[in-house]
């Protein structure tokens, strides 16, 4: 092993890192409430002047924010041009979590724990607040899953739709977005597990029955039972597929 060279310890900060400082400035404005959903960012050349940085740094920062789903760029000139703060950061959050899950930055037991906790709360809120429309949105994927001829992929999609409908019925946007993000993060893992099951008939029958019981508890406004059942449903399934992993 060679001696560490002294030149390796301290290098000048690359100029390209300036974009991170631009990012920090824009974040500051968002956190301070100066920039809200639908607001337009100052034009590129104005940001260059305001922040005293290069055009390249500003562009790089805007690209990062777009990729995060925070900014939406509008092309063209005039009052409608430029970058606008996006109203749908949940897509960015979903994508972000999905990629980190794929890279195994979150161990599965942690994800199961998070799902169980989140969805328990969502189910309780749904039991308190679900409207007839909300119940209809939960019922739809439930009916579709009753079809025993459904492919495992279709079943998984309906399963997701059911859980998302519960989260949305709770009326808490943040919880719903987080549920969607975590759920879509485990989508591939769940689907892989579905395909490996050699007792699919029995497992899907059990999942079906559990979903109906959760739905009934929500429809009957039984807060405690709705929370308990959804948590048991999530933990039970992951316990069952646990032996398939590795």
Site string for Zn ion, 113-152 (x = CB under 5 A): ----------------------------------------
Cβ(93)–Cβ(177) below 8 Å: yes
Positions 150 through 209 that interact with Zn ion (CB under 5 A) = 159
Q: Do residues 161 and 70 make contact, with C-beta atoms less than 8 angstroms apart?
A: no
Nearer Cβ to Zn ion (44/139)? 139
Instruction: Report the nearest approach of Zn ion to the CB of residue 133 (Å).
Output: 21
> Is 60 a binder of Zn ion (CB under 5 A)?
no
Q: How far is the CB of 145 from Zn ion (least distance, A)?
A: 9
Minimum CB separation from Zn ion for residue 173, in Å?
A: 21
Beta-carbon contacts of residue 127 (< 8 Å; ≥ 6 apart): 217, 218, 220, 221, 222, 223, 226, 227
Are 86 and 37 a contacting pair, CB within 8 Å?
A: yes
CB of 204 to Zn ion, least distance (A): 10
Which residue bears the tokens 């859980």?
Answer: 163
Instruction: Give the nearer residue to Zn ion in terms of CB position, either 159 or 231.
Output: 159
Measured from the CB atom, is 60 or 168 closer to Zn ion?
Answer: 168
* Nearest by Cα to 165 from 187, 144, 136, 143: 136
Closer residue to Zn ion, CB minimum distance, 98 or 163: 163
Torsion of CA 207, 212, 214, 219, to 10 degrees: 170
* In the complex, least distance from residue 124 CB atom to Zn ion, rounded to whole angstroms: 16
Residue 175: name the closest of 95, 101, 114, 88 by CA: 114
Nearer to Zn ion, 60 or 159 (CB): 159
Which residue, 72 or 235, is less far from Zn ion as judged by CB? Answer: 235
Query: Which residue has the closest beta carbon to Zn ion?
Result: 159
# residues near Zn ion by CB under 5 A: 1
Site of tokens 């998984």:
156
Four-CA torsion 224, 230, 234, 235, nearest 10 degrees? 20
> Rule CB under 5 A: which of 1-30 touch Zn ion?
none
Q: Which residues bind Zn ion (CB under 5 A)?
A: 159
């Amino acid at each position: 092993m060679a001696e560490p060279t002294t030149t390796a310890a301290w290098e000048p900060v690359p100029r390209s890192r300036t974009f991170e400082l631009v990012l920090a400035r824009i974040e500051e404005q968002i956190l301070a409430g100066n920039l809200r959903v639908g607001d337009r960012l100052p034009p590129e050349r104005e940001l260059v002047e305001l922040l005293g940085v290069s055009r390249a740094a500003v562009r790089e920062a805007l690209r990062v924010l777009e990729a995060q789903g925070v900014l939406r760029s509008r092309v063209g000139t005039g009052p409608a041009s430029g970058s606008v703060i996006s109203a749908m950061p949940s897509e960015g959050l979903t994508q972000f979590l999905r990629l980190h899950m794929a890279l195994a930055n979150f161990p599965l037991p942690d994800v199961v724990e998070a799902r169980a906790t989140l969805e328990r709360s969502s189910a309780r809120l749904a039991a308190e607040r679900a409207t007839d429309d909300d119940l209809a949105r939960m019922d739809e994927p439930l009916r579709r899953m009753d079809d025993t001829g459904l492919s495992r992929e279709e079943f998984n999609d309906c399963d997701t739709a059911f859980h998302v409908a519960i989260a949305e019925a709770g009326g808490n946007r943040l919880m719903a977005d987080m549920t969607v993000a975590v759920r879509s993060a485990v989508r591939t893992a769940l689907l892989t597990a579905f395909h490996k099951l050699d007792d699919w008939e029995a497992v899907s029958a059990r999942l079906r029955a559990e979903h109906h019981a959760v739905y009934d508890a929500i429809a009957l406004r039984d807060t405690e039972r709705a929370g308990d059942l959804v948590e048991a449903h999530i933990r039970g399934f992951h316990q069952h597929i646990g032996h398939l992993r590795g």
